[in-house]
Amino acid sequence: MRVGIPAESRPAERRVAGLPETVASLIGAGLAVEVQSGAGAHAHASDAAYRSAGAEIVPDHPAGRADVVTSVQPLDPDRARLLRAGDITVSFLQPAAELDLVRVLADRGVTAFSLDLLPRVTRAQSADALSSQALVAGYRAVLLAAGRLPRFLPMFTTAAGTVPPAKVLVLGAGVAGLQAIATARRLGAVVEAYDVRRAAAEEVRSLGAKFLELDLETQDGVYAAEQSETHLERQRELIAERVAASDVVISTAAVPGRKAPVLVTTDMLKAMAPGSVVVDLAAESGGNVVGSAPGEDVWVGDVLVHGARNLPSGMPAHASRLYAKNVANLLALMTADGRVEPDLTDEVLSGACLTHAGEVRHAPTRELL
Ligand code: NAD
């Protein structure tokens, strides 16, 4: 069977779903691979490198020719119309925002796997693209803030005087938040963080940051549940003073399947020192910071609020390396003897499968159609 790796067509997407090393592993599993010319250009993977790994380089998109199409972003609905019944796609699908595409995939009888739906069980960890890309986002959020901050992050003791370290506050300590904490610490900042989940406290401390103990109910479990507006109001009151004292705030708070909680208000921004920088990693899912907009810099007085948009795409080589490996690992779960034949009784494949044989299998998406 044939796996296709297209050049990404959505605006500003610089990653690619396969690299020469993963092409080699797919070929080792008995598959043939075709790569659209130039697909790896932003990730510095040349057509020649893919060819050396055994891929065929093709001039156009593989939809309609390859049996399995792997991409980072969802396919455009017009491309998906070229797919044949039984074809397989693997990508992020963001189904709630891609209902036209979901209809096309179901109508065409495509078996579509959405990496945003992958169950986070141990066996699926090596295919967990949400985590690998959140890691990139958390890292880049801090570099972005450091680049915009009109001051140092580390402490310096010089003949011209001593510069104190910057204070960084991280809100939400999941995969992205923990990576933001680790990155800010490596750059020498003094870091504190807060998460509604009790278990996050130990992880925050293990990275050398201070966990904010707030007089608020915390949650057990691995994933945050939606908080009431009263709870969030109280949280905002309690963190206001810490936001005001910070030079940088990185907000990453999210609740699966829900709009991001609002944690930082305009008044809180106005209380920050001039030149402070806020990076809202949740900007694309509603925003943790009032007024933030994806991909935009917004000034609130003298405070810069950057709304993050697809930060992993800005580091295409390593983001693609992790993503391509995630995709190859997911394909390995459904490949035997050179054939990709997903067993949909497998909990990982079943959980990640959005459409199959004309049906939308994911109930929350079905309800939106
Ligand atoms: P996420 O992106 O859904 O959310 C980010 C963080 O925001 C979470 O830690 C959440 O608790 C926090 N949050 C929600 N509301 C908040 C609020 N009002 N204030 C402060 N923080 C708030 O999270 P994620 O990165 O996907 O990770 C969620 C959990 O899943 C973590 O416990 C992580 O360790 C776990 N995880 C497990 C696996 C696996 O087992 N395969 C893989 C990845 C992540």
Task: Provide ipTM, 2 decimals.
Answer: 0.96
**Known catalytic residue: 223?**
yes
Give pLDDT, residue 257: 81
Q: How close is the Cα of 44 to the center of ligand 1, in Å? A: 32
Minimum CA distance residue for ligand 1 atom 13: 253
**Known catalytic residue: 366?**
no
Catalytic residue among 128, 195, 247, 280: 128
Q: How close is the Cα of 206 to the center of ligand 1, in Å? A: 17
- For 73, phi then psi, to 5°, come to -85, 160
Distance (Å, whole) CA 32 – CA 27? 6
Minimum CA distance residue for ligand 1 atom 2: 254
**Known catalytic residue: 128?**
yes
Give pLDDT, residue 136: 98
The DSSP string of 47-73 is HHHHHHTTPEEESS--TTT-SEEE-SS
Residue ranges with strand state E in 75-155: 88-91, 111-114
pLDDT in tens, the chain (369 residues): 999 999 999 989 999 999 999 999 999 999 999 999 999 999 999 999 999 999 999 999 999 999 999 999 999 999 999 999 999 999 999 999 999 999 999 999 999 999 999 999 999 999 999 999 999 999 999 999 999 999 999 999 999 999 999 999 999 999 999 999 999 999 999 999 999 999 999 999 999 999 999 999 989 888 898 999 999 999 999 999 999 999 999 999 999 888 999 999 999 999 999 999 999 999 999 999 999 999 999 999 999 999 999 999 999 999 999 999 999 999 999 999 999 999 999 999 999 999 999 999 999 999 999
215 CB burial (10 A radius; 0-12, 13-18, 19+)? exposed
- For 267, phi then psi, to 5°, come to -60, -40
Q: How close is the Cα of 275 to the center of ligand 1, in Å? A: 29
pTM reported for the whole predicted model: 0.96
Catalytic residue among 46, 126, 131, 350: 131
- Taking CA atoms, 131 is separated from 223, 271, 342, in Å, by 13, 33, 23
Distance (Å, whole) CA 205 – CA 303? 28
Give pLDDT, residue 204: 98
Pocket test for ligand 1, best of 115, 197, 236 (most atoms within 8 A of CB): 197
Distance (Å, whole) CA 104 – CA 110? 9
Complete domains list, the chain, with CATH: 2-128+315-368 (3.40.50.720), 139-314 (3.40.50.720)
| Token couple for 62 | 């593989």
Q: How close is the Cα of 177 to the center of ligand 1, in Å? A: 9
Q: How close is the Cα of 152 to the center of ligand 1, in Å? A: 29
Give pLDDT, residue 258: 87
- Relative to the CA of 178, which ligand 1 atom is closest? 25
Q: Is 133's C-beta closer than 6 angstroms to any atom of ligand 1? A: no
Distance (Å, whole) CA 1 – CA 33? 9
- Relative to the CA of 253, which ligand 1 atom is closest? 7
Pocket test for ligand 1, best of 131, 175, 250 (most atoms within 8 A of CB): 175
